[in-house]
Amino acid sequence: MMNFHPFEDANGDKLREECGVFGAIGAADSAAVTALGLHALQHRGQEAAGICSYDGEHFFNRRGLGHVAENFSTQEALAELPGNMASGHVRYSTTGGAGLRNVQPLYADLAAGGFAISHNGNISNSQALRDELVSKGAIFQSTSDTEVIIHLVATSRYPTTADRLIDALRMIEGAYSLIVMTPEGMIACRDPLGIRPLQMGKLGDAIVFASETVAFDVVGAEFIRQVQPGEIVKVGFDGKIESLHPFGNHKARPCIFEHVYFSRPDSIFDGRSVYEARKAIGAQLAIENPVDADLVVPVPDSGVPAAIGYAQQSGVPFELGIIRSHYVGRTFIQPGDGARHSSVKRKHNANRFLVEGKRIVLIDDSIVRGTTSLKIVEMMRDAGAIEVHFRVASPPTAHSCFYGVDTPERSKLLAARMDIEPMREFIKADSLAFVSIDGLYRAVGEAPRNNGCPQFCDACFTGDYPTSLTDLENREAHEAQLSFPVNKVA
């Protein structure tokens, strides 16, 4: 079950993880293994996919727009990617926008040899670094923030590729999980706070890395452990593994939205089953926000585990009050604006026999712009529901993410513009409630947030960003300067 939200509309009314990464070294069919691993991570990025391989002498890079299956499902495509080391990437676009030139892995010929990089995350000072590099003569081939890392590595004066990468990363703020390929082997690393996930596994004699453990299940690999926050893992072609911790000790702040929505439910994140965590969030939601109702109905597919937990805790029966069609893709032809609403019904339909005359509790993972929630509530009412109560398995999303999540600007987030009651009126529900931030922490096995330092990055809910946001601060300062009245001297 993927986490693609089938009600996502043309305005992107859903938070989306920017991308997923996979790498394999020591596998005879490394490109095929990588393609299969990326297919398991397709929910993390459905805009483009790429794979780069190395045969001991040459690097080979193939990238394309669309899904993994559209680009890497044939033997002919995989034959273009020989070698026993490969890495790949699936993406949505945030920083840099869409276009083939931004599809990863990005590759460059450096003085020390080939360098291919796959990046999950977002560099929050990339524009400042880019401006400085360009002023010194750097020429960029893409608009991706990831290319900044390549230029920083290229200009570092350290002797080895690993040391040059570490030198580059010391200048970077924000979030990153990286898989890097060089002629010496593979390097996997994670930012010092561990905001974005990265896992390590073993497939026979090969070492594999992936954004989620579900990719290991699909390729038949054994999960070893997660790459630790701030850790650099070097894997040579002889199978030797070296672990470095060059950034000191930092309190980890992994993204809590991996538990809420991003990761597939059959993954393990931060040592816990994502499926069980979502059920626990739903149970906590029922404890905090009970309601007299006849049915608990999930918004497919992302609301299902939380709805099961809500139903089990509340005693209100769980039912599939919305049925999803699995034969309508995201690219279904839209004849015009007048067909937008009917496209929702092509993907989903209310189960009228169950819903009619009932009091319904709808469970979803989040509310972003609110337009999707409005459509779902209207669907239930059109099917004859006499009451529609909306319950959300996360706190209100009131702040933008700058760490690799495709978030609308803050002015377009419903919770940034409205309190709960106006939000309820906007989506036309009979009641609206969210799980509390402390309840969310309890559900995923941590102490309440206010009892000490937060265990996660929860900035999209709290506005507590764990790193500096240089580019944002520079942009806001520039905008303030432009808007400030200037008194001209006669």
The pair of structure tokens assigned to 97 is 């926008």
Q: Which segments of 249-372 are extended strands (E)?
A: 268-269, 272-273, 295-298, 322-324, 348-350, 359-364
The pair of structure tokens assigned to 319 is 């039912």
Query: How far apart, in Å, are the Cα atoms of 242 and each of 155, 187, 235, 238?
Result: 24, 10, 7, 12
Asked if residues 380 and 427 have their Cβ atoms less than 8 Å apart, the reply is no
Q: What is the DSSP letter of 457?
A: B
Pairing of strands 359-364, 295-298: parallel
Torsion angle, alpha carbons of 255, 213, 126, 192, to 10: 60
Query: How far apart, in Å, are the Cα atoms of 143 and each of 59, 125, 171, 254?
Result: 22, 14, 19, 27
CB neighbour list of residue 391: distance below 8 Å, 6 or more residues apart:
285, 286, 289, 291, 310, 361, 362, 363, 364, 432, 433, 434
* Edge-to-edge order in the sheet of strand 431-434: 295-298, 359-364, 387-392, 431-434
Query: How far apart, in Å, are the Cα atoms of 126 and each of 95, 129, 130, 357, 473?
Result: 9, 5, 6, 54, 12
Asked if residues 281 and 260 have their Cβ atoms less than 8 Å apart, the reply is yes
Please identify every residue annotated as catalytic: 19
Pairing of strands 232-236, 206-210: unpaired
Helix (H, G, I), strand (E, B) or coil at 8: coil
